[in-house]
Structures are given as structure tokens and as C-alpha cells.
Amino acid sequence: MNYLGQSGRMETFGSGAALIRGGTISLTNGSSVPAGESIAVIFQTPAHMLGRDLAIMWWDEARGIWREINATVTPDGRIIGVTNFTGTFVLVMKD
């Protein structure tokens, strides 16, 4: 399966790729994130997956593809992405 990587190029998941967890983020009033504001998408990395090639992906419904968002792994194993939109996000192992 393909996804749009941070480089802006289409990339392919490795043969061992796996969905770890996911969820949908929405605002209580159903609106979008206000201009100039952002939200954090945070997943706890399972201990047995620390050090693996992980990414946070967002489902781009308009284009029908998964898009990788920029994310950082903290020393305690959380992977955090900051974005200005809501939607469905998943933590995946890419390799």
C-alpha cells in the first residue's frame, strides 16, 4: 500500500508494515481548527516497538490516501505530531 511521505513523494509501506493504533479527532462544535491554532496528535509507542520505523498518518479523504505527518518521538516513547486539522490518525510501523 502507498502513502504520501513527508517528502511529498508517494512511498510504499514495507512488507512488515502494521497498524498499531488509531483514532479520530474532532472538535466538539464540529468546526475546523481555528486559523493560527494547532492540535497535538499523541500516541504511546508500545515498548516492544521502540526503535522501529514508526509514523503518524492522517487519512486525506479528499485524495483517498494516507499522508504522513511530521512527528517526534520523546524519550518516554510518545510519538507526537502537531497539525492544524482534525480527522482520522493512525500510528503505523512502516518497515
Q: What is the pLDDT of residue 83?
A: 93
Cβ distance 80 to 38 under 8 Å? no
Half-sphere exposure of 70 (CA within 13 A, CB side): 6
Model pTM score: 0.84
Q: How far is Cα 62 from Cα 75, in angstroms, rounded to an integer?
A: 35
pLDDT tens string 46-79: 998 888 889 999 999 898 888 999 999 999 999 9
Structure confidence at residue 31 (pLDDT): 79
**Residues whose CB is less than 8 angstroms from the CB of residue 39 and which lie 6 or more positions away in sequence, other chains included:** 25, 33, 82, 83, 84, 86
The pLDDT of residue 7: 79
pLDDT tier, 88 (very low <50, low <70, confident <90, very high otherwise):
very high
pLDDT over threshold 80, residue 14 = no
